[in-house]
Structure 1
Amino acid sequence: MSDTRKPRHRRRRTTLAAVAALAAGTLAYGTDAGLFGADTQTSAAAATATWASDTADGFASVNSLGQNGTYGGRGGQTVTVRTLADLEKYATASEPYVIVVAGTINMDPVGKEIKVASDKTIIGSGTSGHIVGGGFFLGQGVHNVIIRNLTIRDSYQGIWNDKDHDYDAVQMDGAHHVWIDHNDLRHMADGLIDVRKDSTNVTVSWNRMSNNNKTFGIGWTENVLTDITIHHNWIRETEQRNPSTDNCAHAHLYNNYLEDTAGTGITSSYGNYSRGRTSMLLENSYFQGFRNPVIKDSTASLVQRGNVFSGTSGRNESGGTAFDPKTYYAYTLDQASEVPALLRSQAGPRSTLGTTATLSATATTLTVARNGSAQFSTIQAAVNAVPANNTTRTVISIAPGTYRETVKVPSNKPYITFQGTGAGRKDTEIVYNNAAGTPKPDGSGTYGTSGSATVAVEADDFQARNLTITNDFDEAANQSLSGHQAVALRTAADRIFLDSLIINGDQDTLLLDTAAKDKLGRVYVTNSYVTGNVDFVFGRATAVIDRSVLTLKKRWNGTSAGYLTAPSTAANRKGFLITRSAVNGDVSAASFYLGRPWHAGGDATLDPQTTVRDTTLSAAVKSTPWTDMSGFSWKDDRFAEYNNTGPGAGPASPDRPILTPTQAADQEITDWLGDWTPTAS
């Protein structure tokens, strides 16, 4: 889209739904033998959820004490439980199990802690798995346990500093190789997590921990044996033990967010505490409003690197020597400044974990690798190999590497999944540099905005995950070129599911479109990053961006000014919904609009819509966040906010519409997606 448009005719326009749990991704499928040749990867019948194969990082991944990493009940039977009796039956069994908690389980009696046996994965189904009034206990020698994607809450007995009710969310005494990941732990009678009595090889990651006195205690022994990794946890409105690490051989804390909001009933006493003979390395964490954010005993070591302290007070200490975690395991640090937005959107239970969908039919996997070790060396070649009008899922499994090519999925090839196989989104990148004004090689003109896309998807039921898609067009080097719109990803189809992506560009990064004005095109984007500066999320699709980070970039000349969304929604359709996400970026304060109405082609019948709700807005967002476009007033269309937070949020005014709770109840994810529940496959 153009940054400026000619004026057109103006036009005047006269119950909080629960999101359905999203099924988890699948990688192994059956197929008709020989469909794509002898090298096609196949497996039998039912799909296997990718989360069932996930393994821990950090110290829980280290080979020690006869246990090579932490993988829980992988290889055992998967069972779904909805009652306390069934949960206890499988959690205490001697054989391995993957236990999916699909509902709320109330502990009876209150304070009950189920004694988990070795080789178990206990995981919530989407966001539906709740353990109320109790938790889990891992005793001496218990090992290889994953507790994941659960909400464990409400054993609190009305006594703030409770000495009589040891009702923890997770307690371990002498356990090893334990992974606690993506949980919501809150309002318990004692600690949220207690790692006691020489428990070791523990990783605690991507959890929300809140509304508690004692958050997270580690130690309770004179021995110096515990190795623990604590990363990407959001700890808020808690008083003490955030965490307290006592006599830990190695405590590696990084990319955590500790938040104490002024004016609440809970005031922090201290943050990270290195006690006894602990050796602690604290990296790239963010402390906001905490009293005594970092403290240490005289006998302990505590080395700090790259942390951010905002509005903190009191003790902030360090001293001694550090160990190098990379001698034990690999890890990657996020920038500390990005941690609050990242964890607000991505910590805690995920709707794409713990669900147990299977495919309705067999499917095929095609492999791509740049080095020639797979079936195809380019992604487009794999797309070309998919039969026209296919009726079953084809997964194009893409090895890590940089793929400099343009890719098009034509409308007659539905049910295709792009799956990056690297450890993270950045490992596999599809990149090209066409812009709207780039001449076509055959001399037939320029590409135009939609034709500039690095990846273009015109087929229904497309999915992509664990990838980076980039348009790296160099505006500074091409100032003489007319048309700097440069799309990274264009979708023009229905039921598009984009999960765990990075989508990079400048102007017009992500084009969410439909096949035609009268066609429905629904898109669900989750757990992703989108970057840009001018109209970088635009189009006429009915699209949800959920639990993602939208990063504002400076323009090619270093100036800060731009627009996040430019919807061109058809009348009586839903436009863009940005929810439970974060808007940030290294740009000037009050320099970006949240959106403007794009009446494509001057079409006055369009009714553009963007709703931004339950989202953290940085100071870059203007206090009047919507603006006109090409002669069309935003006030004639549908632009609104609800329940946003952060320095860029603001009160309702004629220039800043805020939905009422009643209005907001009709602007939820399910209102956008209708009868479609995104199911990863």
Structure 2
Amino acid sequence: MNNARSKARHRKRSTVLGAGAPLAAVAALALAYGGGVLGADGGDRASAATADATDTATAQATAWAADVADGFASVESQGQKGTYGGRDGRTVTVKTAADLEKYATASEPYVIVVAAAITISPVGKEIKVASDKTIVGSGTSGQIVGGGFFLGTGVHNVIIRNLTIRDTYQGTWNDKDHDFDAIQMDGAHHVWIDHNDLRRMADGLIDVRKDSTNVTVSWNKLSNDNKAFGIGWTDNLVTDITIHHNWIRETEQRNPSTDNCAHAHLYNNYLQDDPNTAITSSYGNYSRGRTRMVLENSYFQGMKNPVTKDATATIEQRGSVFSGTSGRNESGGSAFSPKDFYAYTLDKAADVPALLKSGAGPRSSIGTAVSAKAAAATTLTVAKDGSGQYKTVQAAVDAVPTGNTARVDILIAPGTYRETVTIPSNKPHVTLRGTGSSRKDTVIVEGHAAGSTKPDGSTYGTSGSATVHVLGADSQLRNLSVTNDFDEGANQSIAGQAVALRTNADQVFLDSVIVSGDQDTLLVDGSGKRVYMTNSYVVGNVDFIFGGATAVIDKSVITLKKRWNGTSAGYVAAPSTAAANKGILINRTTISGDVTNGSFYLGRNWHAGGNAALDPQATVRNSTLSAAIKSTPWTDMGGFSWKDDRFAEYKNTGAGAGSASADRPQLSDAQAAGQEVADWLGGWTPTAG
């Protein structure tokens, strides 16, 4: 931004996220391109003797295989950097129990796609899964009937996903004779159980036992069973487990029961006990032994004893909804802070039932694949070491056909790419996606500032300083970092606005990214053009989210930085919105950082070029504000009063939140109903493509 104002200062860049798991292979290693095979020997195929198992290493493009675990399964420990399953191995499709067992027990990594209802014999058999495996249902067709999976001591890096596992029930409700679980682990670590439908088993649906740790259980349906989910049962405080967005319905006990867990983080789960049914809950979430549990924003409907604890256990409970519950509802003791281990964003507890009824369980978009021919036409790979098709990101963008009508997915291997990247306006539908297990693994970085000199002797200007320019409509950035590392402290003589990411296109989707800089980090350009960011981080200090676009920052983290000389002062947002448009919406987001209390404004009104006809808008709602935010969070800019423009808050929390006043406008409930994410996006539903 070119308006005269105080300059931002630079300090050494801080770490935003915990360590993630780098992957040795790009997701596209299993793709055929242009008649060749990238990263695999085309002759290394499964034996034809197993006719029902199809080796699809060179015949399928599995975009969902780039997904990695969140929560405690993403945390580095025991020599394992996150949980990514068999993604470094071949992909096989199985339709028989023999083939499923063959690949699940193999010593090498595999992605095993279950493409049929597979009946296990004898009933109750649990297939012993080896390390480095992804077992995933193909859409909604993958089922395991009459059996389950067992993960033994030392087994690690396993994903069990998108399956229906059902029906080992032997007619005895509290069955002590048949230990037939859907998923059982004894001493395993780094396991992700996601988007499954588990029901009607003889014992428990999930058992996490014998010091198993670094487990995440997410987006599953657990139902119609005596015991849903048991954890622990040792004297050791070892188990770290995250349980989020699970729908637990019509189960009597262990919903879950956590015994001697070092860290148990439960959030956004839906526990439902319907009236007048044969199954009645005896208790809900149970913290046993010396468990340290954090319970957040869950929804308990009709449950008896919804939250219970032993005298020796702790529960920190906050934000949950209890509807028609009865009996014990307990909390007490200091547990731990989950954000010391990993980043996460809470959904509102009131939204949880609808969210999980529509989103839990197997999804048709997971476990499916496209042909190699289609992949070749729509997928490009980038790797600095030459193992991809291109060594730079811009070279891959340049290879996209002008006027392309279908999505082109550019898969970028982990590494640091020092370059500027432009997705031009005549190349829509482009996705830049890092293939590492963390947003930090793939970094695009450059250090230009507005006053930096270009090769032709001119200066870049603010918008021209961007590391990445997104000018093509329907573009996406996923699972990567974009950084401007201009050193303002060493370059005080030039204008220090230094953009990391600039968007000037409609329907730009930013999913699981880190955008990092100091002054003017994220420029959302283009009047009325829609941008949606989620599950992401934005880092900066002065006007570091700015522009005239219609932009939503949702379920993300905004990190405040000190300036280069260690002082704290800044502004989060500087909208330059046209009067007829919506501006910047910050929703369900945490704003915090290692800065002085009361040193940052939420924003100021940028009338770009002194244009009095603009009507800048910023709304910050349902967000957590740290003590760094000033008690008068909005301020003037360029001689224009912010009170003549559109600035408001709604139901924010945290030390930096405040009540309504002339200096702190708050939306009414009726006004807030017209300032939801959907109102900003105007009929556009961002979808990862």
Q: Same fold (TM over 0.5)?
A: yes
Q: Which residue of 1 aligns with 2:194?
A: 148
* Structure 1 residue 542, shift from structure 2 partner: 0.9
Distance in 2 (CA, whole Å) between partners of 1:548 and 1:70 is 37
Distance in 2 (CA, whole Å) between partners of 1:633 and 1:382 is 46
1:469 aligns with 2:482: yes
Q: After superposition, what is the alpha-carbon deviation per residue over 1:485-533, rounded to whole angstroms, capped at 9, x for unaligned?
A: 000000000111111111110000000112xx4xx41111011011000
Change over 3 Å in CA distance of 1:647–1:118 after alignment to 2: same
Q: Which residue of 2 aligns with 1:77?
A: 115
SS of residue matched to 1:374 = coil
1:650 aligns with 2:658: yes
Change over 3 Å in CA distance of 1:619–1:468 after alignment to 2: same
The question of whether the paired residues in 1 share the 8 Å contact of 2:485 and 2:517 is answered with yes
Q: Which residue of 1 aligns with 2:137?
A: 98
* Structure 1 residue 652, shift from structure 2 partner: 0.8
1:496 aligns with 2:540: no
Give the partner amino acid of 1:194: G
Which range is displaced more, 351-360 or 566-575? 351-360
Distance in 1 (CA, whole Å) between partners of 2:519 and 2:633 is 18
1:668 aligns with 2:676: yes
The question of whether the paired residues in 2 share the 8 Å contact of 1:29 and 1:46 is answered with no
Q: Which residue of 1 aligns with 2:583?
A: 575
- Give the one of 222, 231, 251 matched to 1:195: 231
Q: After superposition, what is the alpha-carbon deviation per residue over 1:623-680, rounded to whole angstroms, capped at 9, x for unaligned?
A: 1111111111111111111111111111111111111111111111111111211111
Distance in 1 (CA, whole Å) between partners of 2:658 and 2:390 is 51
Change over 3 Å in CA distance of 1:432–1:673 after alignment to 2: same
Q: Which residue of 2 aligns with 1:458?
A: 471
Give the partner amino acid of 1:478: N
1:204 aligns with 2:241: yes
Distance in 1 (CA, whole Å) between partners of 2:213 and 2:411 is 30
Q: Which residue of 2 aligns with 1:595?
A: 603
Q: Which residue of 1 aligns with 2:389?
A: 375
Distance in 2 (CA, whole Å) between partners of 1:615 and 1:78 is 44
SS of residue matched to 1:49 = helix
Distance in 2 (CA, whole Å) between partners of 1:217 and 1:437 is 59
Q: Which residue of 2 aligns with 1:139?
A: 180
- Give the one of 156, 169, 182 matched to 2:218: 182
Distance in 2 (CA, whole Å) between partners of 1:99 and 1:630 is 57
* Structure 1 residue 344, shift from structure 2 partner: 4.0
* Structure 1 residue 335, shift from structure 2 partner: 6.7
Q: After superposition, what is the alpha-carbon deviation per residue over 1:134-176, rounded to whole angstroms, capped at 9, x for unaligned?
A: 9xx9835845896536999xxxxxxxxxxxxxx9996679999
Give the partner amino acid of 1:148: D
Give the partner amino acid of 1:622: K
Q: Which residue of 1 aligns with 2:497?
A: 485
1:413 aligns with 2:427: yes
The question of whether the paired residues in 1 share the 8 Å contact of 2:31 and 2:61 is answered with no
- Give the one of 514, 517, 527 matched to 1:505: 517
* Structure 1 residue 416, shift from structure 2 partner: 1.0
The question of whether the paired residues in 1 share the 8 Å contact of 2:231 and 2:259 is answered with yes
Q: After superposition, what is the alpha-carbon deviation per residue over 1:400-456, rounded to whole angstroms, capped at 9, x for unaligned?
A: 11111111111111111111111101111111100000011121x110000000011
Q: Tell me the percent identity.
A: 44
Change over 3 Å in CA distance of 1:75–1:359 after alignment to 2: closer
Distance in 2 (CA, whole Å) between partners of 1:92 and 1:580 is 44
The question of whether the paired residues in 2 share the 8 Å contact of 1:100 and 1:122 is answered with no
Q: After superposition, what is the alpha-carbon deviation per residue over 1:223-252, rounded to whole angstroms, capped at 9, x for unaligned?
A: xxxxx885765599x999874368xxxx9x
* Structure 1 residue 540, shift from structure 2 partner: 0.9
The question of whether the paired residues in 1 share the 8 Å contact of 2:454 and 2:460 is answered with yes
1:217 aligns with 2:257: yes
Q: Which residue of 1 aligns with 2:169?
A: none
Q: After superposition, what is the alpha-carbon deviation per residue over 1:588-635, rounded to whole angstroms, capped at 9, x for unaligned?
A: 111111111111111112121111111110000111111111111111
Change over 3 Å in CA distance of 1:45–1:352 after alignment to 2: farther
Corresponding pairs, count = 545
* Structure 1 residue 575, shift from structure 2 partner: 1.0
Give the partner amino acid of 2:379: T
- Which stretches in structure 1 are left out of the alignment for 5+ residues? 7-25, 80-90, 103-113, 126-133, 153-166, 221-227, 275-284, 295-306, 309-333
Distance in 2 (CA, whole Å) between partners of 1:491 and 1:115 is 52
Task: Give the superposed CA RMSD.
Answer: 5.5
Q: Which residue of 2 aligns with 1:156?
A: none
Change over 3 Å in CA distance of 1:478–1:352 after alignment to 2: farther
Change over 3 Å in CA distance of 1:240–1:676 after alignment to 2: closer
Distance in 2 (CA, whole Å) between partners of 1:27 and 1:453 is 28
Give the partner amino acid of 2:257: G
Q: After superposition, what is the alpha-carbon deviation per residue over 1:448-488, rounded to whole angstroms, capped at 9, x for unaligned?
A: 0000000111111111111111000001101112x100000
Q: After superposition, what is the alpha-carbon deviation per residue over 1:336-375, rounded to whole angstroms, capped at 9, x for unaligned?
A: 3x86x74547999897996545999865211111122221
Q: Which residue of 2 aligns with 1:280?
A: none
Distance in 1 (CA, whole Å) between partners of 2:215 and 2:453 is 53
Distance in 2 (CA, whole Å) between partners of 1:74 and 1:424 is 23
The question of whether the paired residues in 1 share the 8 Å contact of 2:513 and 2:537 is answered with yes
Q: Which residue of 2 aligns with 1:442?
A: 456
Give the partner amino acid of 1:204: I
The question of whether the paired residues in 2 share the 8 Å contact of 1:455 and 1:490 is answered with yes
Give the partner amino acid of 1:401: G
The question of whether the paired residues in 1 share the 8 Å contact of 2:479 and 2:512 is answered with yes
The question of whether the paired residues in 1 share the 8 Å contact of 2:504 and 2:525 is answered with yes
Change over 3 Å in CA distance of 1:190–1:244 after alignment to 2: farther
1:537 aligns with 2:545: yes
Alignment of 1:506-525 (within 5 A): 506-514=518-526, 517=527, 520-525=528-533
SS of residue matched to 2:552 = strand
* Structure 1 residue 72, shift from structure 2 partner: 12
SS of residue matched to 2:635 = coil
SS of residue matched to 1:429 = strand
Give the partner amino acid of 1:77: A
Alignment of 1:422-437 (within 5 A): 422-437=436-451
SS of residue matched to 1:417 = strand
The question of whether the paired residues in 2 share the 8 Å contact of 1:243 and 1:271 is answered with no
